[in-house]
Structure 1
Amino acid sequence: MKKMFCFFVFCCFWHLVVFGVEDEVKSVTEGESVTLQTHVTELQTRDLITWTFGYPETKIAEINREDAIFSTYDDVLDGRFRDRLELDNQTGSLTITDTRTTDSGLYTVNIKDTKSTTTYRFNLTVYARLPVPVISRNSSQCSSSSSSSSQQNCSLLCSVVNVGHVTLSWYKGNSLLSSISVSDLSISLSLPLEVEYQEKNSYSCVINNPITNQTTHLDISKLCHLSKKISVVSFSSYFQTGYIFFSFFFF
């Protein structure tokens, strides 16, 4: 029994040394560069490094110092990575330049030396650049709660187009008023808001993903100016005295 237990412990240890896997999550914005580290200080003569992408795995880079191989295979996958892969000759780390959303996925590096094989996996997400939210007057929804101009409402709409994996929100100062989230790609979003015409509070519309955001601040005086309509309610004339009286009401 003792021998079996020792053998089991040895097998577990051997499995960790040979097949040890460590995962890392990385996120960047489209157009930025990202480096996937091997955590190797300096490659040795007999070290063999292989980089793959996706599942099933496609080889995209390889270093074999003993056979003088130092290559990136950026023509695979219909040239998806063409001219955008860089290998560090000293550490074997891989850099992807000018990233695109199609670069999102699983990257695996196998590092084999004379004693063991170590595997690192990187889950990379490349987010599209965020557009600046556009705030406009939603005239079709304009309403008036009473005849008093101070209580009339201005209906607004915050919009963005061709976005995915984002949240669109309205804020009053630092307080969240409403929000909507989507996970689909290339979709248009709109979020309504009603404010009083003469309100002095600060409002902003924010679009964000897990790593960045864009904000547009509302200029109430520009979008929600109150048009004054003049109506003549009464007209009285007294020709005998020579006085004429006009009464005006402003809405």
Structure 2
Amino acid sequence: AGLLSAAGDEMVTLQEVEGTTITLHTGITGIQTDAHIVWFNGPEKADKKILISQMFKGETVTEISERFKERLQLDRSSGALTIRNISRNHSGVYLLHVITEDLSSRTFRVSVYAPVSTPIINLSGKRSLLSTESCSLFCSVENGEDVNLSWYRENERISITNNTDLSVPLNLPLQIQHDDNNTYICVSANPVSNKTTSLSISQLC
């Protein structure tokens, strides 16, 4: 029997940008050539077969589900699965079974995100009575999964907002003095990307 060396059975968590190619590395080496390899996938539970690879009459036969056609590539020596051009609807749990005399398994949770949009800084519609001394602004950005919007003064974050209602854009106000010489930056971010917009006080205020 071939020996398997593995990195452990804990779930591996991956966060990826949509449109990229990712590989689920298994930490397994030395898989026997006649092993039966199966990958499963599902949103919360990996309960649907998406790839089956086995030896049949001396030839390797690999079947891939329609949902993942042209996207998957298997490394039979390790069981590693490469997913090309991954999209947000490929987020979920992935489970590997390597079946020989024994069963080896690996579990992955993959979260796929769109890149965040660039935030926009605007002057608030109504000027206050103190507008000769201060300036009211707001930063806004299109909302998305796990998106945060923050104001930074120099390198220090001074405010942050998010909203689980993804249909509502994120807005974050800021009030500053006209003679404020600090550098202000608005940052939109999610787990895989961030975009920044710098505030030009002289242009907006």
TM-score range, shorter chain: 0.7 to 0.9
Deviations 1:94-113 (A, max 9, x none): 11111111111000001122
Query: Is 1:130 aligned to residue 120 of structure 2?
Result: no
The CA deviation at 1:56 is 5.9
- The answer to whether the 8 A contact 1:74-1:85 is kept is no
Secondary structure at the counterpart of residue 221 of structure 1? helix
Task: State the aligned residue count.
Answer: 195
- The answer to whether the 8 A contact 2:35-2:98 is kept is yes
Partner of 1:213: 194
The structure whose Rg is larger is 1
Partner of 2:35: 47
Query: Is 1:165 aligned to residue 150 of structure 2?
Result: no
Partner of 1:139: 125
* 1:102 aligned residue (77, 84, 89): 89
Q: Which protein is richer in helix relative to its size?
A: 1
Letter in 2 for 1:206: V
Question: Structure 2 matches for 1:199-238, cutoff 5 A?
Answer: 199-224=180-205
Across the aligned residues of Structure 1 and Structure 2, the Cα RMSD in angstroms comes to 2.0
Give distance in 2, aligned partners of 1:198 and 1:222. Answer: 13
- The answer to whether the 8 A contact 1:163-1:187 is kept is no
Aligned identity (percent) is 36
The CA deviation at 1:198 is 2.6
* Distance of aligned partners of 1:184 and 1:110 in 2 relative to their CA distance in 1, 3 Å threshold: farther
The structure, 1 or 2, with the larger RCO (C-alpha pairs under 8 Å, 6+ apart) is 2
* 1:189 aligned residue (156, 170, 177): 170
Give distance in 1, aligned partners of 2:119 and 2:52. Answer: 43
Give distance in 2, aligned partners of 1:186 and 1:35. Answer: 32
Give distance in 2, aligned partners of 1:183 and 1:122. Answer: 25
Deviations 1:179-198 (A, max 9, x none): 11233445411111111123
Question: Structure 2 matches for 1:61-140, cutoff 5 A?
Answer: 61-66=51-56, 68-75=59-66, 79=67, 81-114=68-101, 116-140=102-126
Give distance in 2, aligned partners of 1:121 and 1:187. Answer: 34
Of residues 185-194 and 172-181 in structure 1, the stretch that sits farther from structure 2 once superposed is 185-194
Secondary structure at the counterpart of residue 196 of structure 2? strand
TM-score, with normalisation over the residues of structure 2? 0.86
Give distance in 2, aligned partners of 1:64 and 1:186. Answer: 45
Letter in 2 for 1:130: V
5+ residue gaps, structure 1, are 1-19, 225-251
